[in-house]
Copies of this chain bind each other. A is one copy, B any other.
Amino acid sequence: MVLLCLIAQHETYGYEIISQLNTTGGKIFGNAKEGTIYPILYRLEAAGYIQSRLASSTLNGGSKKYYNLTESGHLMLQELLVFWNDFVGCVNNFVASTKKNEV
C-alpha cells in the first residue's frame, strides 16, 4: 500500500522509492533495501496494479524503470486505504482495552 501511495503521488522508479523511504520513512521504512522493494514492485506489476516504462540513462547511472498506477491500481489503493483504516481501528480496540491494565 505504501508503494502504491508513493507511485500515486508521481511517476517514480525503484531506486528513487528506496531513497525516499530511507530519508522520509521514519523508524519503520527508513531502512528499506533493494531486495525488499524490487520484488514488491514486480509483484505489483504482475498483478496489474502498476505499469512500467523504461527510460534510457540520463545524468547518472543505469536506465530507470518508471512506474505509474494503472486504473486497477487506483482502485486497489482505495480498497487498501479502507482496509488500513479498518485494520488500525480493530487493532486499537484491543490495544485500548489492554492499556488500562498494562500501562
User: Which residues of chain A from 70 to 103 have a CB within 8 Å of any chain B CB?
Assistant: 74, 77-78, 81, 84, 86-91, 93-95, 97-99, 101-103
* Cβ contact of A9, chosen from B25, B90, B97, cutoff 8 A: B97
Say whether, besides A5-B95, A95-B5, A26 and B89 are in contact (CB < 8 Å): yes
The winner among A25, A93, A101 for most chain B CB atoms within 10 A is: A93
Q: Is the CB of A98 within 8 A of B5?
A: yes
Q: Is A29 an interface residue (CB 8 A)?
A: yes
A28: contacting residue among B2, B27, B81, B87, CB under 8 A: B87
Name the distance in Å between A68's Cβ and chain B's nearest Cβ.
12
B28 touches A86 (CB 8 A): yes
Q: Known contacts A2-B91, A26-B89; can you find 8 more A-B pairs with CB under 8 A? A: A5-B94, A8-B98, A9-B101, A26-B86, A27-B90, A28-B87, A77-B102, A78-B103
